[in-house]
Chain A
Amino acid sequence: MLEVLIFATLNGLVTGFLLFMLASGLTLIFSMMGVLNFAHASFYMLGAYFAYSLSLYFGFWTGLIFAPLIVGALGALVERYGLRKVHASGHVAELVFTFGLAFLIEESIQFFWGRDTKNYQTPDLLDFPLFTLFGQEFSAYRGFMMAISIGIFIALYYVLTKSRVGIIIQAAITHPQTVSNLGHNVPLIFMGVFGVGTALAGLAGVIAGPVLTTFPGMATVLGSIVFVIVIIGGLGSLAGAFIASLLIGLLQSYAIASDVGMPDLLNLLGISFDRSHPLNDLWTMNLPQIAPVLPYLLLVLVLIFRPTGLLGKREE
């Protein structure tokens, strides 16, 4: 029991930190420009694919460094030549644009890399168990993922609170109008934030690709979850996104690891149903089965009862 709990917690944290890498970029972009970037997870997927291709020729570590840079540059270009143009047509158009972009990126990936799953592997250097607990191994690569994510988290925190750019960004988040009055080049900041945000997503893709498999659906798998996170955390709140990332990561991990379900609950209550009962699916449901549904359930509940999210201040 204890080992299940420990490993579920560790895996939940790995996922949670990974999710935060995506959620932080998404939150920054939203706070600055008011755009919920639907294509954010697509940049994550691009990161994995670029890194895969680079790793074939130059090895994993080159991919780790250059793939996020390429993705970030692409992101900046998208902002400069796409999003900025659509901005004039309003928020709905922007949201729809990023939605279309997600669609196009997925199709382009199938065009360039094909539909099959890519054999993107963890580097040999990290191919050993970090430690063994109760006879179960925790791979070094997962430890590495966690280290990178925590490193990014600390760096982000440092940049946002200590550096000049960070202070401008923070000001832009809380007082969007005033920053341009102070003479800062807001379009350039926008482009930069979009680039950095997508680069972070790319980095997440690079490190997640080998474990979560690199295939054209990987953006869809994670995309809506990341959305759920930034909304549960509160739109525009980095701290909220952090809490929500860990929450969702752990929640899913525990739900998958547990093997309790309705039958246990019914047993406990001393009720039993015939297998031919029309609601049989409901009576036999178990937690691992509904794990994928949980984040959305949480999202709907949060939006109904606390539309600003956990730590959010603004509704729109």
Chain B
Amino acid sequence: MALLKKSSIWIAFLVALLGLPLLFDSILAISILNQMAIGIVFALSYNMLLGQGGMLSFGHAVYFGLGGFLSVHALMLIEYETMVFSILWIPLIGGLFGLLAGIFIGSFSTRKAGTVFAMISLGIGELIAASSLIFSSFFGGEAGISGDRTFGPTFFGFDFAQNIEIYYVAAVWAFIATLFTWLFTQTPAGRMANAVRDNPERAEFIGYSSRKVRFISFCASGMFAGIAGGLFALNYEFITEENLNAATSGRVLLMAYIGGLGYFIGPIIGAVVLTLMNSLLSNYSELWMLYLGIMFLLTVMFLPRGFAGFIMMHQVAWVRGNMKMLIKPYIITGIPALLFTACAIVLIEMSHTDDEVFHYLGLALNPASPITWIVILAIAGGAFYATKRSLIQLNDAWETANAIPKEEEA
């Protein structure tokens, strides 16, 4: 019974992963789901480094990319029948090479955390990305390399030509990877990673070499990144230099950070949110990267522990049964805040459009007329002021909701 209770959340996660394509079955939705599965594994592996181990990496795409390249090469081997095995095992190949790269690079880069580690990771990331363009017979130069996932032995009649079939493969792998990254946090090595993150010096006085503790997390993280790379290779059947360069490294940092470092669920939230933004927002606006940048900076400034941290902030109020005290203030602040955001977006979009009429939220606006601008600016100003004012009462409500009850204090 206790076991059932403990594993219920995992069962729910698996059911959600496998059930989602039943709810969303369009081609776009399946493609988004695939990206999410990849993103979750990748972001979790990143959190293992930064959130759990305190190692800020600017070159994490290296392990993802190397895993991906080796996976595409494995697909080719299957295609030319040099080796015959089911493509189900491709992510394992990615993981293996991610792990090998981790062992090699970690052997010298984990000596220190902090700035030195961050810079080594940046240097190695740039080094490998630049070298990959030189060794074009392996990396395929700018164009990358491609494979075909349908040549391997079929699995119960599935030949994996469909994206939905690959999604189920990716979902199962994502589940396994999530489970194992979580289990890792529950082991002595995982806990010591936290300890070394907090205080590498003291860890040495309780018998642990900080460097070795970091090294273990680093290798594990490389392995899971490689698995994510393998999933990428399966899904897209090609991979390019872009998948191991700084842009990809930056993206995974964004995911993990926005989701919330230090919470296991954080990177999962981050991967889901960013993938959704990436695929949905990019349909509506070519400026979505700008919005992403703004959102990221605001997160770093105002929600240093990410979305997950924001949710967890409410734990105290929840435990004390005070959540209802917060609902009204949230709505009062939320409405002008949303209005302000909407105005800001329309101003940005209008200044970037050549259309005569700009359609937004059911309104037809004329970007050429100064009146449109003045009105929207005025609304934005009002909304901003209202938000600022209402923040005061939200703050008060927050204090009361979190205050220690009188009798408990005594």
Contact call B304/A86, Cβ cutoff below 8 A? yes
Contact call A281/B136, Cβ cutoff below 8 A? yes
Contact call A91/B114, Cβ cutoff below 8 A? yes
Which residues in A have their C-beta under 8 angstroms from that of B130? Answer: 292-293, 296
Contact call B296/A100, Cβ cutoff below 8 A? yes
Contact call A104/B290, Cβ cutoff below 8 A? yes
Which residues in B have their C-beta under 8 angstroms from that of A285? Answer: 134
8 Å CB contact of A101 from B127, B138, B246, B297: B297
Which residues in A have their C-beta under 8 angstroms from that of B116? Answer: 303, 307, 315-316
Contact call A86/B296, Cβ cutoff below 8 A? no
**How would residues 257 to 297 of chain B score, 1 for a CB under 8 Å from any chain A CB and 0 otherwise?**
10000000000000000000000000000010110111011
Please, could you name 16 A-B residue pairs with CB atoms under 8 Å apart, sorted by A?
A82-B297, A86-B301, A92-B54, A103-B293, A104-B297, A111-B290, A111-B348, A228-B123, A231-B123, A281-B137, A290-B134, A293-B127, A293-B130, A296-B123, A299-B123, A300-B127
Which residues in B have their C-beta under 8 angstroms from that of A228? Answer: 123
Query: If the complex has contacts A111-B290, A293-B134, are A303 and B300 also in contact, measured as CB distance less than 8 A?
Result: no
A296 to B134, CA, bound (A): 14
Distance of A198 from chain B, by nearest CB (Å) = 16
Query: B50, B108, B134, B254 — which one has the most chain A CB atoms within 10 A of its CB?
Result: B134
Using A297-B127, A303-B123 as known contacts, list a sample of 19 further A-B pairs with CB atoms less than 8 Å apart, ordered by residue number in A. A86-B301, A89-B300, A93-B300, A95-B56, A99-B250, A100-B293, A101-B297, A104-B296, A107-B290, A220-B246, A224-B122, A231-B119, A281-B136, A281-B137, A293-B130, A296-B123, A299-B123, A303-B109, A316-B115
A307 to B116, CA, bound (A): 7
Question: Which residue of chain A has its CB nearest to the CB of B141?
Answer: A281
Distance of A144 from chain B, by nearest CB (Å) = 31
8 Å CB contact of B119 from A89, A103, A227: A227
Contacting A at CB under 8 A, from B104-136, are 108-109, 111-112, 114-116, 118-120, 122-124, 126-127, 130-131, 134-136
How many residues of chain A have a CB within 8 Å of chain B?
45
Which residues in B have their C-beta under 8 angstroms from that of A278? Answer: 137
B253 within 8 A of A: yes
Which residues in B have their C-beta under 8 angstroms from that of A188? Answer: none
Distance of A190 from chain B, by nearest CB (Å) = 17
How many residues of chain B have a CB within 8 Å of chain A?
44
Distance of B129 from chain A, by nearest CB (Å) = 9
A289 to B134, CA, bound (A): 7
A65 within 8 A of B: no
Contact call B118/A307, Cβ cutoff below 8 A? no
Contact call A303/B120, Cβ cutoff below 8 A? yes
Which residues in A have their C-beta under 8 angstroms from that of B250? Answer: 99, 103
A90 to B120, CA, bound (A): 20
Give the 3 A-B residue pairs with the shortest CB-CB distance, closest first. Answer: A104-B293, A299-B123, A296-B127
A161 within 8 A of B: no
Contact call A224/B246, Cβ cutoff below 8 A? yes
A86 to B300, CA, bound (A): 7
Which residues in A have their C-beta under 8 angstroms from that of B138? Answer: 281
**How would residues 231 to 270 of chain B score, 1 for a CB under 8 Å from any chain A CB and 0 otherwise?**
0000000000000001000100110010000000000000
Contact call A281/B134, Cβ cutoff below 8 A? yes
A100 to B257, CA, bound (A): 11
Contact call A300/B120, Cβ cutoff below 8 A? yes
Distance of A250 from chain B, by nearest CB (Å) = 19
Contacting A at CB under 8 A, from B335-365, are 348, 352
Question: Which residue of chain B has its CB nearest to the CB of A297?
Answer: B127
Distance of B289 from chain A, by nearest CB (Å) = 5
Which residues in B have their C-beta under 8 angstroms from that of A99? Answer: 58, 250, 253
Contact call B112/A97, Cβ cutoff below 8 A? no
Contact call A91/B294, Cβ cutoff below 8 A? no
Which residues in A have their C-beta under 8 angstroms from that of B58? Answer: 99
Query: If the complex has contacts A91-B115, A296-B127, A299-B123, are A96 and B300 also in contact, measured as CB distance less than 8 A?
Result: yes
Which residues in A have their C-beta under 8 angstroms from that of B123? Answer: 228, 231, 296, 299-300, 303
A46 within 8 A of B: no
A285 to B135, CA, bound (A): 9
Query: If the complex has contacts A89-B304, A103-B293, A104-B293, are A304 and B246 also in contact, measured as CB distance less than 8 A?
Result: no
A36 to B122, CA, bound (A): 13
Query: B115, B131, B253 — which one has the most chain A CB atoms within 10 A of its CB?
Result: B115
